[in-house]
Structure 1
Amino acid sequence: MRARLVALAATALLATTGCGLQAATQYTPPSAPGSIEPIDGVEGDEIVVGAKNFTEQLILGKIAVIALQVAGFDVVDRTNIPGSVPARQGLVDGDIDMEWEYTGTAWLSYFGESDPIPDPQEQWEAVRDVDEGNGLTWLPPAEANNTYAFAVRSEALPELGNISTLSGIAELPVEERTFCVESEFASRNDGLGPMLETYGIPLGDPQGVPRDNIRILDTGAVYEATDDGLCNFGEVFTTDGRIPALDLTVLEDDRGFFPAYNISPVVLTETLEEYPELADIFGQITPLLTDEVLQVLNARVDVEGEEPADVALDWMVDEGLVTRG
């Protein structure tokens, strides 16, 4: 997801205007204070919220829009920016005051580092420290970590020895080590080949994972193919709503191979200095964001066809953050 968006940046930039931002649908349902309350003295002050143009980002963006409207700001909704690069540039240029970002995206894509930091907290601290020099503040991250993983259809678990970790794949017969992946993942340096090497079942080795055991599919098709049993193990993103919708079970990355992509609110430092209460607002929201929560919210959009803004408001009301307006 993250690298694909970066790879499409040139195309995305052609679709934008001015600073590279594109107005989102302006629909946001009315809301009123809950545990998030108005900030004294900010009524009518403008603040710009950005978000990229995939489901999870749209939901998170609307959560921020709703929270800041309730706090009293006149929110400019710049969610639905087509790509990571223009979204990032909007922040760096000061045209966006706040957006949600992924630690791994910043480290590997924006900063050009080749080696991720395995520990999620240390990874967040590293990107926080770098971006201090760019006038951006990374507020504390969520538990939610939208990284790569492999999942298996839950009904097949008894046949596969109730496997729960990636290490367990090495205990299976070679013919059961079948994988569905997208083309980019098959060639990444944090993708299929290095992952299999890390887990002691090298790609192309007759005693590891023969190449005939690999199916290369479009991203969306991987989920369906895994659910249909065309392969035992399908590449997924850990917060994708299709995981619960298709009753897939995510295997634990017990050797810590995949980079951390924890979600964090990123705010212009000068905006945060002017409105330090923003840290308190997002401090109420971020701890509630887990993989399981985002799977449910993403599924309501991707599987059930609901509007991201409605999904965002429903969740915030359920958590007591806001009430309906």
Structure 2
Amino acid sequence: MISRPLRQTFPLLAAAALAITTVSACGSADAVESGSAGNELAGAKFVVGSKDFTENIMLGKIAVQLLTAHGAEIVDKTNLGGTVPNRKALTAGEIDMYWEYSGTGWIEHLRNTTPIQDPAKQFAATAKDDLAKNKIQWIGPTPLNNTYALAIRSEKAAELGVKTVSDVAKLAQTKPEEITICIETEFSTRDDGLPGLSKAYGMTLPKKQISLLDTGVVYTETDKGQTCNFGEVFTTDGRIAALGLTVLEDDKKFFPIYNAAMTMRQETYQKHPALEKVLQPVIAKLDDATMQQLNAKVDVDGEEPAKVSADWLGKQGFLGDAA
């Protein structure tokens, strides 16, 4: 994609940070009639968390609205923070569930260093080990694979002749001044982030050429090409296409598979086995294309995650009479 659209991304995570509330049948963008899709979860009460980026917030809203429609009472703690705060809140019993990614579970939570490239095997290994070691149950996975990638403006990619991450590594040796990169703080420290990527591809990047920015700003600054030529992106993010960015091939297959799934404590799963029945039909529909479209509605079109998720659930028939 050579031409770049004029429309720019509007960072909306601050607007998406809704107050922590108990969902009721009215008075909120999340409002869904309790029991409208069934009463499998009648009498249950869940605290739903999420990470603080668009996709995970929207997945959190999907859970809030779906479980409410099946009779549960929900306390909405979406947009809770990054990976660490959500995981700690889950294991401490402060939240009952949040959406996690198989690669994150395998590398970050289970402390493995080598990802499994087969998606089904990666998920199965992650779910099995997390349950055995930490009593965390995984429900899923979704087809979507929200893995990390490096992106660059399409015209700059053509100028520099880069198509793969190996090309970037070579460029770091011949034209090191061109390797300016924008990343999130979390990506700067994770084993499946920049430290591991640099090691796998033999790149040494001076700190002065690395800018730590918020998620939305990474995309806009990569698009501008002033602060950085390269940016860390999520492959299911709708801003990639909207901004005309080129995603570089991870030719050494460093990044793990990141299929999303719902995680919860084993005791929660055992107490409410209907959660599997309620969640799985929705999980099956969440593929890459669907998530890219939903993410774009928030980050490009300016809609709120709660509205986008409710609209999608309604169109899919998952909210029953409330659709």
The answer to whether the Cα contact below 8 Å between 1:28 and 1:66 also exists between their aligned partners in 2 is no
Gaps of 5+ in 1: 1-21, 205-209
How many Å apart are 1:78 and its aligned residue?
A: 2.8
Aligned to 1:154: 154
Looking at structure 2, the residues matched to 320 and 67 of structure 1 have their Cα atoms a distance apart, in angstroms, of 11
Aligned partner of 2:13 in structure 1 is: none
Q: Does 1:291 align with 2:318?
A: no
| TM-score (structure 1 length as normaliser) | 0.73
- Aligned counterpart in structure 1 of residue 224 of structure 2, from 216, 221, 228: 228
Give the counterpart of 1:253 among 212, 226, 250.
Answer: 250
1:195 aligns with 2:201: no
Q: Report the TM-score when normalising by structure 2.
A: 0.74
- 1:141 aligned partner: 141
Offset, 1:309: 0.9
Unmatched tracts of structure 2, length 5 or more:
1-18
User: Residues 171 and 135 of structure 1: is their aligned pair in 2 closer, same or farther, counting only changes over 3 Å?
Assistant: closer
Cα distance change, pair 99–186 in 1 and its aligned pair in 2 (3 A): closer
* Partner in structure 1 of residue 209 of structure 2: 215
Letter in 1 for 2:233: V
Counterparts of 1:1-325 in structure 2, within 5 Å, are 23=20, 27-31=28-32, 37-40=37-40, 42-133=41-132, 134-156=134-156, 159=159, 164-167=163-166, 174-175=174-175, 178-182=179-183, 185=187, 189-192=191-194, 195=197, 198-199=200-201, 202-203=202-203, 215-220=209-214, 221-230=217-226, 232-322=229-319, 324=322
Displacement of 1:130 in angstroms is 2.2
- Residue type at the aligned position of 2:86: A
Provide the C-alpha distance between the structure 1 equivalents of 2:271 and 2:163, rounded to a whole number of angstroms. Answer: 48
Question: Could you tell me which amino acid in structure 2 is paired with residue 259 of structure 1?
Answer: P
Alignment length, in residue pairs? 293
CA distance in structure 2 between the aligned counterparts of 1:75 and 1:138, rounded to whole angstroms: 19
SS at match of 1:47: strand
Whether contact under 8 Å (2:34, 2:72) holds in the other structure is: no
Q: For each residue in 1:190-225, what CA deviation from the matched residue of structure 2 results, as whole angstroms up to 9, or x when unmatched?
A: 4446535645xx435xxxxx869x832233544233
CA–CA separation in structure 1 for the residues paired with 2:72 and 2:44:
5
What residue identity is the alignment partner of 2:264? V
Within 1, Cα distance between the matches of 2:184 and 2:79?
25
Tell me which amino acid in the other structure corresponds to 1:227.
Answer: D
Residue 232 of structure 1 deviates from its aligned partner by 4.7
In structure 2, what is the equivalent of residue 7 of structure 1?
none
| Percent of matched pairs sharing the same residue | 42
1:158–1:270: structure 2 CA closer, same or farther, 3 Å change rule? Answer: same
